Amino acid sequence: MKPYAKMVRFLDELPATSAPVILAALGPKMLELSRDRAAGAHPYFSPPEHTAIARQVLGPAPLLVPEIAVSLTPGDSGAAQARDYAKMYLRLPNYTGNLRRLGYNRRGH
C-alpha cells in the first residue's frame, strides 16, 4: 500500500475523539489531505520555498509547521556536516521527489 493510501486508511480508522493530527506532508496530495482531513502539515527536509507552496495548498487556516535543518558551524566544516546529514534523506524517494518538483537536481538548484 502506498503512503498516501496508508494515511487515508489511518485517518479513516482514527477515533473521532482523538487529538488533532498534523500530517507529515511534502507533495500536493498529502498537503491536500492535511488540509481536508487533519489540523495541518509538518513538512520536513524541504527548502524554504516549499513553505510558500504548502501554505497555498493548505490555505490560511490549517497549521503549517515546517522543519528546516541548518548547520551553525561556519565554513567547510559546516558544509561537510550538512552534506553528512542530508545523505540519508537524499536516498529516500519521497524527499528526492519533492526536491525535483521544486526544480532541484543532482547538480544543484
Q: Give residue-wise pLDDT tens across range 61-76.
A: 999 999 988 899 999 9
pTM of this prediction?
A: 0.86
pLDDT score of 109:
59
pLDDT reading at 106 higher than 90 = no
CA R_g for the chain: 16
Q: Give residue-wise pLDDT tens across range 21-63.
A: 999 999 999 999 999 999 999 999 999 999 999 999 999 999 9
25: closest CA among 94, 87, 88, 85? 94
pLDDT score of 107:
65
Q: Give residue-wise pLDDT tens across range 6-28.
A: 999 999 999 988 899 999 999 99
Question: Which DSSP string do the residues of 37-73 spell out, in sequence order?
Answer: HSSEE--BS--HHHHHHHHHHH-SSSEE--B-----S
- Distance CA(65)–CA(79), nearest Å, equals 25
Say what the alpha-carbon torsion angle 60, 70, 43, 64 is, to the nearest 10 degrees.
-20
Q: Are 42 and 66 in contact (CB under 8 A)?
A: yes
pLDDT reading at 92 higher than 70 = yes
Q: Give residue 46's region: left, alpha or beta (phi > 0; psi -120 to 50).
A: beta
Continuous segment of H or E residues that includes residue 4: helix 3-13
